[in-house]
Amino acid sequence: MNIYERHDWKMVPSRNGFGRALTELAERHPELVVIGADLTESTRANYFSEKYPDRFFNAGIAEQNAAGMAAGLALTGKIPVFSTYGVFAAGRAFDQIRTTICYSNANVKIGGAHGGLSVGPDGATHQALEEIALIRVLPHMTLFTPADDEETRKATIAAVEQINGPVYIRFGRAPVPSITDESTPFEVGKARIVKDGEDITIIACGAMVAESILASEILERDGISVRIIDMHTIKPIDRQAIEESARKTGAILTVEEHQIEGGLGGAVAEVVVRTYPVPMDFVAVNDRFGESGEPMELIKKFELDYESIARKARELSKKKA
């Protein structure tokens, strides 16, 4: 039995949770509208468009226009949700998100699909590895990076029902382990402690939370007690959870399916150096573009898999004072 088979985890794309949430929200919020960019089925916005065609608008392959449309609809009292691949949403439409949406503090929700390497064979041009850095720097913006299908559903619902302002939700394409369920707590800006430990803290986001859980099992066989945190909200980040973890375990390893610069690791480090400095290290994409391949093959090649996480954690634990 391999390490994956020890868990009764279903494999579900996190994008499914985005689609499920849209249809659930539509029933409670008649002012909710959705804007697509010719990738409706890929982002699962088709769950909404098929049920509420009169409230769906396809902007075509014109992401900047879609962002502008969303801002305009928000300023007239609608709750627009704009969805497309993360590379196109955060990259091509960055100026419109910054100046038209965030500067106006418009109540726009952005579904950034296919984050990380999960696009697989589509390759580097479609693999969003930079959007956390781009999005988290924007004033007024809230940034979610949920771990699985159910957490994506909860993040999308929270974006609409709890936040009056711009929100970006990053989710993936490939099936990932379902590690949460309906009873799992989700609070905006409040990290979830997946498991507690004494020797090292692993702070992860997105699909890397499951890989970190698997890594902890290897580490604990070596006598290393691991605290795991699911940092599903990167902005506003849970400063208290980070500081408490630094004080308790004395070392922090961040794990993300994103460039090493400017992502989750940078956000956590900004807190650590200002509160309780401890040894830190980062598991992330090391300043390179993605490439074509099956998602799990790429995760292993880019050293984001549970074995690579465990190896990096062992090295970091030796640096503790």
Catalytic annotation, residues: 63
Q: Where are the alpha helices (DSSP H) in 79-199?
A: 86, 94-95, 131-136, 149-161
Tokens of 106: 């418009």
CA distance 195 to 214: 12
Alpha helices for the chain (secondary structure H): 15-28, 40-43, 46-51, 63-75, 86, 94-95, 131-136, 149-161, 208-221, 239-249, 264-275, 295-301, 306-317
Before 277, cis peptide (omega within 30)? no
Q: How far apart are CA 187 and CA 254, in angstroms?
A: 20
Euclidean distance between CA atoms 204 and 209, whole angstroms: 5
* CA angle (248, 251, 253) in 5-degree steps: 120
CA proximity to 198, closest of 244, 230, 237, 255 = 244
